[in-house]
Structure 1
Amino acid sequence: MRRGSVEIRRIANNVSRRATFGKRCAGLLKKAHELAVLCDADLGVLVFDAAGRQFHYCSPNASWSELIQRYDSTTSDQFQGGQGMNHDHDQLLSEIARLRQERDHLEAVVRSQTGEDLPSTASVPELGHLEQKLERALGKVREMKDKLLEEQLGESHHRVHILEDQNSFLRHMMSEEGRQRAAVEASAVVAELMAPATLLGGFFPEVEEEEAATSLRLWP
């Protein structure tokens, strides 16, 4: 199944941004290693995070100095030596400054919308508009909270039904076992009661032998 397109933009949450950087940076360095090993390519990857920490990878058959020299030699005509590199470096710095300004502006907008950094010159209509936004956001949060509570309640009811079914099954098994045990005990009692009757209804060898001996003595 094909995934939907994801909008690429800066992550506002600091924790999520750091976690995403760690995962994607590790994946980038892993892909660089696979490209170097599988395709016998000479490459180098250098990454700096927002805190200035450095992450890099260099293919095992090359060094950073060799890669930089090869890069300088292949791009000398295009960038005109050091002047071209300096110009590219200046463009990179200007782009970084622009992105930082955009980040600061977005963070200020978020703080103002959440009421953390309201300007002292805010008018009543502006505050009313902000209040409406917060109420809509609060309504969405409550709606999501109610939905989660309903899902948890439904899951709890499902678990209760499962436990009730298991309890009923165990009770049924215990009652069946009790009936079988009672039947066995009743059979044993009947057998004990039938034993004397069998003796009374049968013959007694000792009595027959005694009668036979008496009849012999009385015979002339």
Structure 2
Amino acid sequence: MGRGKINISRIENKTTRQVTFAKRRAGLLKKTHELSVLCDVQIGLVIFSSTGKMFQYCSDSTSMDDMIRRYQYSSGTRIPQHSDAVCNIHDILNAEIRKIRKETQDLHLSLQRYTGEDLSCVRFEDLEELENRLEESVNRVRARKFEILQQEVNNLRISTKQREEQNDELCHLIKEHQAAVFTHQHHYQQQMGMEPRSEEHRQLMEQFPFCGEEQPLLQLATTSMQPQFAAYPASSSSLPPNPPHLHEFSLNTPIYE
């Protein structure tokens, strides 16, 4: 049973591709040597791998240089010598340097004209063209500046709107919390049999919320109470001179020793 037909295309797997290259390269060199010996021909073979490594074969009766010279003579082509190549490269580099210097000088002159320096040798037509270009540049700069300002204004509006929404949400939460506290206090008063608080007292509690605690109410009640008895002047005795419950006694009756 014969082999199947192999599709000739690039091998995608790198390892498989390298193994195939090594095997077929060895077979190609072997077949080249056999052809050179059997047929008495001069063969020169040069192979460059995908990594840039060179492999070559040349018949024993000649050398690779002779093969290259015979190839040039037969095909009419000429490979430049090393000195000629160096001279050509030097000329190319000099021409490139002169071109870069000229471009640099032109750019320097253009920059001076745009900044308004050294305009003595500029013609009237060139000045008009320069003026038009500068006006166009100024218009583009202004348009870009207004665009950036508009973007900043839009961002500020969006930020302001978000902050207003957050503020409204916080105010709503505060009102809900105050309403819940007031409802809790009202239920507590009903359970304890206390009278409902007046509107003035409720407003005072909203200014000083204590989350339903009764201690501040007691303190406010205590501080708001008026004294029922007038203060007696201080004396050497610990008791007042005429106690209210002893008004029936005579003034001449000795009470305190």
Tell me which of the two structures has the higher relative contact order, counting C-alpha pairs closer than 8 angstroms and 6 or more residues apart: 1
Structure with the largest fraction of helix: 1
